Structures are given as C-alpha cells and as structure tokens.
Amino acid sequence: MGNIVLEKVHKCFGDVEVIPSVDLDIKDGEFVVFVGPSGCGKSTLLRLIAGLEDLTGGKIIIDGVDVSDSTPAKRELAMVFQSYALYPHMTVRKNIAFPLKMAGMPQDEIDKKVMAAAESLNLTDYLERTPGLLSGGQRQRVAIGRAIVRSPSAFLFDEPLSNLDAALRVNMRIEITDLHKELKTTMIYVTHDQVEAMTMADRIVVLQAGDVEQFGTPLDLYNKPVNRFVAGFIGSPKMNFVKGKDADEFDAHEIGFRPEHMSVSTTKGRWKGVVSVAEHLGADTFLHVKTDEVGTLVTRSDGEINVNYGDTVYVSPNTDKIYRFGADGLAL
Amino acid sequence: MARKVTLQRKLGFTALAWFLGCIMFFPIFWMILTSFKTEIDAIASPPLVFFQATWENYQLVLNQSDYLKYFGNSVVIAGGSTILALLVAIPSAWSMAFSPTRHTKDVLMWMLSTKMMPPVGVLVPIYLMLKYLGLLDTRTGLVIIMMLINLPIIIWMLYTYFKEIPSEILEASRMDGAVLWKEIVYVLLPMALPGIASTLLLNLILAWNEAFWTLNLTAANAAPLTAFIASYSSPEGLFWSKLSAASTMAIAPIMVLGWFSQKQLVTGLTFGAVK
Ligand SMILES: Nc1ncnc2c1ncn2[C@@H]1O[C@H](COP(=O)(O)OP(=O)(O)OP(=O)(O)O)[C@@H](O)[C@H]1O
Ligand SMILES: [Mg+2]
C-alpha cells in the first residue's frame, strides 16, 4: 500500500517560507512527478514526505496513518538521491543489503533478496566492487537496488537521472517506468525535465514558489492548463503569448498558442516577421520568428519546410487551439 | 632548461627540509646521547660527541624509581581521557556538523576560546574542586581533567572531518531504516575513520606530554611520566644524564607510537585539503 495524503503542509526554513500550504492526495500505485522551476520547493516537499525535514505545519498521512512526527525509518519509504548517496565503504552487495540488515532480516534471506535485486538490475558481476569503481549508470542501478530490496510502500526519487548522459538517461527512464509497471508501487519523482515528466507520470504536480499550480494527467496539463504559468511551463518549445488587440479579438487579456499549433507561410498570414533562428532537428524544424507587432514567436513545423535564417515569413495561429487567459493569469 | 631549474629548486627545498628537520630533532638526539654518558661526561665543556657509552643511568633510574608505575599512570590518563573525550565528542561533532543551528558557529568559537585562556588562571578553582570531590592525585580526577582540557580540540577536529562527509549519505541510511546509533556506527564512523584515528593519535600525544595539570594535580599516586621526569630536576640537584635517561624512557613509548602511525597522522591531518 502506498496512499500518501498531504494536508495543509507548510514549511519554513527560519523566517523563509518555502512551502505556504500544499494539499495532495496521491493514490496507491500512482506514478506522480513533481515539476517546477529551480528553487520552487520540489526537493523540500519530497524530503518532507520522506521525513528528512520536519513539518512547520500540516499533516502527512500514509495509508491512513498520520506520520507527521515519525522518523524516516518508520515511514517505510525508499529514496533515490540525485547524488546516489551510496555507502562508499561498502561493496555493492553490502549497499543493497543495508536496509535489510537494518530491518534485522536473517542473513540467508538477505542473500536471496540481494541476488534477486542484483539479477533484475544486471549487477551480479559487480557485487564485490565498491561504488567508487562503478560507472554513473551502474551506481544509479545500485541506488535503485538498495531502494527496491525492502519492498517499501512508496519510492521517492529526487532528480535521479540528472547526472547521467542523454542516452543513458533515456534507458534509465524506461527502466524506471518498467519497474513501476512491474512493482505497481507508488512512486514520487522529482525532475525539472519536461520530457521525463510527460512520459513517465500518471499525474504531474506543477509547483511554483511552493504552491501547487495544477495536479493532473500529462494530457490534462497540456490541453487544459489552469493558468498561464502551467501553460508556459508544460510543452516544449514553450507556448507563445500575445497581449493587446490580438487578445481582445478573442475576448481575453492574453492569448497563448503552442508552436505546434501554428502555420508558416512565405506568402500570407496573420503576422509578418523575419526568421532569427532556424533549428532543423530532422523530423521537426523550430523557427524563431521576429515580428514587429507581437515580438518573437516560436513555431514548430515538420522537417521538410524550406525556410532558413533571414527569410521573411508569415505566421498564423490555429484559431481552434488558442488558450485564453484573464488579467489574473487564470485560464478562461 | 626549465626542467633543470625545477630540479634544482626541488633539491633546494629538500635540503632545507632536512636542515629544519635536523634542527628540530637535535635536542632529542642530544638528550638520547646524554642519557648514555656518565654524569661527568655530561657536563664536560666543550660537549663531548665521542665518549664511552654506558647503560648505568638507565639501570639507576629503573632501580631508583618506579618507572612502571608512572608509565601505567600515563597510559591510563592519556588513553582514558582520549577514549572518554571521543565518546563525548563524536555525538557532539555529529550534531554540529549535520544539524547545525544558528548558534553552532558561536558554540564552536566559544569552545576554542577556552583554549586561549592560560591554564594557570583556573588552577586554583580546579584544584579546589578536585579537592572537594576527593579526586586530587587520583587517576580518575586526571582522566576527567585531561578529557575536558582536550575536548575543544577534539570536537573541532572531528567537526571538520564530519563536514567533509555528504549529509545525503547519512540521510540515505536514515531512509534505509537505520536508527541514530546504527547511522553513527555503520555509516558515519567507517567513513570518518581516517579522521577519527588521527584525532585519537594526536590527542594521545597531547595528553601524554601534558605537564602543567599532571604536575600540579598529582603527588605520589597518580603521577604520570611527566612527573617522573620532573622528579630528576629536584632538590637533590640536577643530574643531567639521569634526567636524560628518564626523559628518553618517558617519551620512547609515544615516539614509537608516532613512528608507526605517521602515515595515518599525515593523511588524517591533511584530510580534506586535497580531495
Ligand atoms: N536547509 C535549508 N535552509 C534554508 N533554505 C533552504 C534549505 N533547503 C532549501 N532551502 C530553500 O528552499 C527553496 C526550495 O528549495 P528546494 O531545494 O526544495 O528547491 P527545488 O525545487 O528542489 O530546486 P532544484 O530544482 O534546484 O533542485 C529554495 O529557495 C532554497 O534556497
Ligand atoms: Mg531539488
């Protein structure tokens, strides 16, 4: 079981309020991702759930039990740190066995579980090495191994892939997703990588300055952002925003449209501009178009488009896919 | 050309280091030399470098005074105070390094500041306190005093070593279900072992050589080797070669310890300077 409920969770460091008040209900078996800009309190929120930081106010309830004042050990959660935080003086075998040893499990059972975990993570050849002699990806696997042996009620990940190179990151992302499908255990995953968030999550929590801006499925956030912040944060390249008479036309303070919902033409269109950056990625082409009326707009078209730096183009938004926002930033 | 210059400089520095080393070692060398001279040779002027060596002083010193008793006291006082101090200092340094508060730096500074006061300033109160507690001239009393004297340095050293350990590793052990003492025993101590070992060695050496308190707070029963040496520069007059023999015997154990642990001491003392 791994149902985690946060009620009015509040955290200050000294006089600095980092988390004003957060309410969340994470269901058993869910894969929840916390995203948000740097310094918004993702790690702090995760560490509060883990029990590594004390609450200033509010409650944390795991499977119906109020654990607000419990030690991390009592909460039976496992955590994977960004720096892996392996024990440098222990072999891989001892690292993975450590939580079981702390739980007082008999040695023969420990051996069995460690072997099983090592096999599922392809670590059997490295069991007698110390972490210093492993590659980044292997260390990451050991950290995951140490987390899974104990069958915790939930896993907490704090940017676990950010120290890996791009190719390895994709592999590990898939491995973690597979792991979740196999174990069906609740996972809370902190990242500021959009792609990780969108591809891995059942539901995403978007945080800004310690506040939950929106909690929903990836497609919810993409299709129905509740405010301008979420609209701008989810999606890559970012949504374009336009104010003024163009927005008035749609009866809004500000309108937004995604780069993939725009058309580019060399002959006619809504706004005229000059291509200031052309990113040809092969399958896609991103154009940064500098217009006189509404500033720089980013468009996304397919790879075949024959437009280059310095060309004059006309861009128009797809009027069916326009997001409207009020003066308070909320979606209309 | 450039290579040659650096080689010359290297040689120069090596020579300088040897020269300074010799100057520092000379008094000890001379003391050991004197301990093998007769009293007459010892005060000869100009000093004798070549002479008829004799074991007589050592025999005399061993017969005359109870070397083993002093030695035993030194072991108990230096060893006991060091172990007691580590038991107090490890948890304190742990809490200051890993859960600092606004006042941690002040506490550390305050502890260090106690070392800036001349010990003689608190001699009378401490003497009286020990007297009322009935701990004057007891090994227990000295173990406690020596522990307190060296505690600030030990806490400072351990604090610096512990600071080098990423707190995430300790947090990981907490997540893995380790209670406080297991976190300290299985994770913190093994990782800080080089630092703890050099703290222990340094403190043993400091406590072994400490003379002010040991001389002032002991008489017959609890006197360690420092008192043993001092007894040879007593009213009976100065006997240079016997004093030297006594001193050599007093410092020999700690020199041997220092020699065998020099690698540990150096790595410990420079730990953190180069990562
Ligand atoms: N121990 C602490 N003492 C004081 N302030 C802290 C402490 N830990 C975090 N903060 C502050 O709390 C805020 C949130 O930090 P947090 O680490 O949760 O951000 P984050 O969202 O994880 O950022 P990042 O993506 O950079 O990891 C930051 O402004 C940070 O400076
Ligand atoms: Mg963080």
pLDDT tens digits, residue range B6-39? 888 889 999 999 999 999 989 888 888 888 888 8
CA distances from A42 to A226, A233, B243 (A): 20, 15, 69
Q: For position A51, which CATH number holds? A: 3.40.50.300
DSSP summary character for residue B135: -
The CATH number of residue A278's host domain is 2.40.50.140
Q: Note whether A89 contacts B178, CB cutoff 8 Å.
A: no
Q: Domain segments of chain B: what residues?
A: 67-269
In a domain, A146, yes or no: yes
CA–CA distance, A169 with A175 (Å, rounded to integer): 10
- Reported as a single tens digit per residue, the pLDDT across A288-305 is 999 988 999 999 998 888
State percent of chain A over pLDDT 90: 75
Of B102, B166, B175, the CB nearest to A78: B175
The confidence score (pLDDT) of residue B59 equals 85
Residues with CB under 5 A from ligand 2 (ion): A 43
Residues A28 and A110 in one domain: yes
- If asked whether residues A188 and A312 sit together in one domain, one would say no
Band of pLDDT at residue B268, cut at 50, 70 and 90: low
Question: CA A286, CA B42: separation in Å to the nearest integer?
Answer: 93
DSSP labels, B194-251: HHHHHHHHHHHHHHHH--HHHHHH-SSSS--HHHHHHTTEETTEE-HHHHHHHHHHHH
Instruction: Say whether residue A282 is in contact with chain B using an 8 A CB cutoff.
Output: no
CB-CB neighbors (< 8 A) of A103 in chain B: 177
3-state SS assignment for residue B170: helix
Q: Is pLDDT at B73 greater than 50 in this prediction? A: yes
Same domain, yes or no: A182 and A281: no
What's the pLDDT score for residue B251? Answer: 86
The span from the CA of A49 to the CA of A10, in Å, is 12
Structure confidence at residue B2 (pLDDT): 56
Residue B273 banded pLDDT, cuts 50, 70, 90: very low
Question: Rounded to two decimals, what is the model's pTM?
Answer: 0.81
Q: What angle do CA B143, B146, B150 make, to 5 degrees?
A: 140
User: Are the C-beta atoms of B201 and B150 separated by less than 8 Å?
Assistant: no
Instruction: List, in sequence order, every residue forming a beta bridge with A17; answer none if it has no partner.
Output: A12
β-partners of residue A9 are A22
Question: Is the same domain home to A281 and A224?
Answer: no
Q: How many residues make up chain A in this entry?
A: 332
Name the domain count of chain A: 2
What pLDDT score was predicted for residue B201? 87
Question: Residue B235: pLDDT above 80?
Answer: no
Q: Do B177 and A146 touch (CB under 8 A)?
A: no
pLDDT of B233 higher than 80: no
CA distance A126 to A315: 56
Least confident of A106-120, A165-179, B56-70: B56-70
Inform me whether the pLDDT recorded for B1 exceeds 60: no
The rounded distance, in Å, linking the Cα atoms of B269 and A81 is 30
* B274 pLDDT tier (thresholds 50, 70, 90): very low
* Same structural domain, A223 and A305: no
Domain end residue (candidates: A216, A231, A246)? A231
Ligand 1 centroid from CA A40, angstroms? 7
Residue A15 sits in the same domain as residue A72: yes
Residue A290's pLDDT is 94
In a domain, A320, yes or no: yes
Could you tell me which residues come within 8 angstroms of residue A285 by beta carbon, excluding any fewer than 6 positions away? A278, A279, A300, A301, A302, A303, A305, A307
Ligand 1 closest atom vs CA A14: 4
B110-165, pLDDT tens digit by residue? 988 888 888 888 889 999 999 999 888 898 999 999 999 899 999 999 999 899 88
CB of residue A38 inside a 6 A radius of ligand 1: yes
The string of DSSP codes covering A56-96 is SEEEEEETTEE-TT--HHHHTEEEE-TT----TTS-HHHHH
Nearest to A189 by CA among A231, A141, A154: A154
Q: Is residue A167 part of a domain?
A: yes
Q: Same domain for A204 and A295?
A: no
Is residue A240 in a domain?
no
Query: By C-alpha distance, which of A120, A119, A142, A124 is closest to A132?
Result: A142
**Residue ranges making up the domain that contains A270:** 256-325
Determine the pLDDT at residue B272.
43
Q: What is the mean pLDDT of chain B?
A: 85
pLDDT digits (tens, 9 = 90+) for A45-82: 999 999 999 999 999 999 999 999 999 988 999 999 98
CB atoms within 10 A of CB B15: 10
For residue A192, give the ligand 1 atom closest to its CA.
Answer: 25
Residue A104: band (very low, low, confident or very high) from pLDDT cuts 50, 70, 90: very high
Interface predicted TM-score (ipTM): 0.86
B237 or A117: whose pLDDT is higher? A117
Taking each continuous run of H as one helix and of E as one strand, the counts in chain A are: 10, 18
Instruction: Give CA–CA dist B134/A146, Å, rounded.
Output: 55
- Whether the Cβ atoms of residue A165 and residue A3 lie closer than 8 Å to each other: no
Nearest Cα residue to atom 4 of ligand 1: A13
* A160 plus A260 within the same structural domain: no
Query: Same structural domain for residues A283 and A182?
Result: no
Instruction: Return the structure tokens found at A129.
Output: 């090495």
Residues 6+ apart with CB under 8 A from B187: A87, B169, B170, B173, B178
- Ligand 1: residue of A12, A13, A161 to mutate (most ligand atoms within 8 A of CB) is A13
Specify whether A147 is located in the same domain as A181: yes
Residue A214 and residue A230 in contact, taking contact as beta carbons nearer than 8 Å: yes
- The mean pLDDT of B179-200, rounded to a whole number, is 89
Asked which of A153-157, A232-236, B255-259 is least confident by mean pLDDT, the reply is B255-259
A132 has a chain B CB within 8 A of its CB: no
Residue A330 domain flag: no
Residue % of chain A over a pLDDT of 70? 100
Do A204 and A260 have their domain in common? no
Between residues 91 and 110 of chain A, which touch chain B (CB distance below 8 Å)? 98-99, 102-103
The CATH label, of 1.10.760.10, 3.40.50.720, 2.40.50.180, 1.10.3720.10, for the domain at B67-269 is 1.10.3720.10
- The residue out of A231, A266, A295 marking a domain boundary is A231
Q: How many CB pairs under 8 A join A and B?
A: 61
